[in-house]
Amino acid sequence: MSKKSVAEKDQNKDEILKDAISAKYGKIAVEGGSCCSSCEDHDPQAINKSLGYSYDEISLFPEAATGLGCGNPLALGEIKEGETVVDLGSGAGMDCFLARRKVGDGGKVIGIDMTEAMVEKARSNAILHKFDNVEFILGEIEDIPLDDASADVVISNCVINLSLDKEQVFREVRRILKPGGRVYLSDMVLTRELDDVDKDDVELHAGCVAGAVLVDDYLLAVRSSGLEVSDHSLDTGISDRQYDGRPVASIKLKAYRALM
């Protein structure tokens, strides 16, 4: 095959994957449902509890508590009053609303999501809770529609694994962070390579498994962007709880943009 045909084939594959991701989360935004492969009865409350949210956190914003995350990024570090927080792949907005409680009236929270129906759902949830300093923007995390050095904190919950260019996402995170700005992430990673059938499974990619990379490759992508990793740990139990025992784990990662 010529170089041009290989590039075209790769581009087609990328488009198929992106369409599948948007279709999946668009449907969930409208009809509800889950991205986990082994939850027979998707119970967002039970999933959120197993991911480390407190009862209070789960019950404050039930319309936004869709149970699509793989951890609780806000539990990883401090967020101060008046700060600007950006959530990558904000879904129905739960982490944004929890961040809003921390930044208060004087801060700002911005959710970015590429799925129109999710953004609409999150916006109507913000109206419901009368939050006028929580904004949801339609956009891609590989090309974040925000200014350089405009965020104090970037959070994300179970999203970057879906991206086809994780290094570009982390470069964008570094770009929008102020020097000294912090990153709190939950995401899916692989604990060993998937077999070839799973690797090429589009539905499994949209379900946060087949797009995931090995832990070391994930950390390398973060570091190559210029971000400093301060801490990380793995929840391997999520494999049996939500992913049929596949070789995945949820990574909890803290990073920052150095001052200089």
Question: Would strands 248-256 and 108-113 be described as parallel, antiparallel, or unpaired?
Answer: unpaired
Residue from 36, 47, 68, 249 in contact with ligand SAM (CB under 6 A)? 68
Our finding on whether 122 is near ligand SAM (CB under 6 A) is no
Part of the chain binding ligand SAM (CB under 6 A), chosen from 2-10, 108-116, 222-230, 246-254: 108-116
User: Count of residues binding ligand SAM (CB under 6 A)?
Assistant: 25
Residue from 58, 96, 98, 114 in contact with ligand SAM (CB under 6 A)? 114
Applying the rule CB under 6 A, the residues between 135 and 174 that interact with ligand SAM are 140-142, 157-159, 162-163
Check if the beta carbon of residue 111 is closer than 8 Å to that of residue 84: no
Residue the block writes with tokens 């990328």: 14
Joined tokens for residue 36: 């986990």
User: For ligand SAM, which is the closer residue by CB, 34 or 84?
Assistant: 34
Joined tokens for residue 93: 């907005």
3-state SS, residue 126: helix
Joined tokens for residue 74: 């806000």
Question: Can you name the residues that pair with 228 across neighbouring β-strands?
Answer: 256
Site map 2..41 versus ligand SAM, x via CB under 6 A: -------------------x---x---------x------
**Pairwise CA distance, residues 223 & 127, whole Å:** 38
Part of the chain binding ligand SAM (CB under 6 A), chosen from 52-60, 111-119, 227-235, 240-248: 111-119
Applying the rule CB under 6 A, the residues between 190 and 249 that interact with ligand SAM are 208
**Pairwise CA distance, residues 175 & 151, whole Å:** 9
Our finding on whether 113 is near ligand SAM (CB under 6 A) is yes
User: For ligand SAM, which is the closer residue by CB, 59 or 180?
Assistant: 59
Name the E strands within the chain: 84-88, 108-113, 134-138, 151-157, 177-190, 228-235, 248-256
Part of the chain binding ligand SAM (CB under 6 A), chosen from 9-17, 87-95, 214-222, 249-257: 87-95
Our finding on whether 185 is near ligand SAM (CB under 6 A) is no
Q: Kindly list the strands in the beta sheet with 84-88, ordered across the sheet, starting from the edge strand earlier in the chain.
A: 134-138, 108-113, 84-88, 151-157, 177-190, 248-256, 228-235
Residue from 17, 34, 57, 66 in contact with ligand SAM (CB under 6 A)? 66
Our finding on whether 91 is near ligand SAM (CB under 6 A) is yes
Q: How far is the CB of 44 from ligand SAM (least distance, A)?
A: 9
Cβ-based neighbours of 68, under 8 Å, separated by 6 or more: 25, 28, 34, 35, 91, 92, 157, 158
Check if the beta carbon of residue 69 is closer than 8 Å to that of residue 44: no
Our finding on whether 118 is near ligand SAM (CB under 6 A) is yes
Q: How far is the CB of 166 from ligand SAM (least distance, A)?
A: 10
Residues of the shown chain interacting with ligand SAM in the complex, contacts defined by CB under 6 A: 21, 25, 35, 66, 68-69, 89-91, 94-95, 112-115, 118, 140-142, 157-159, 162-163, 208
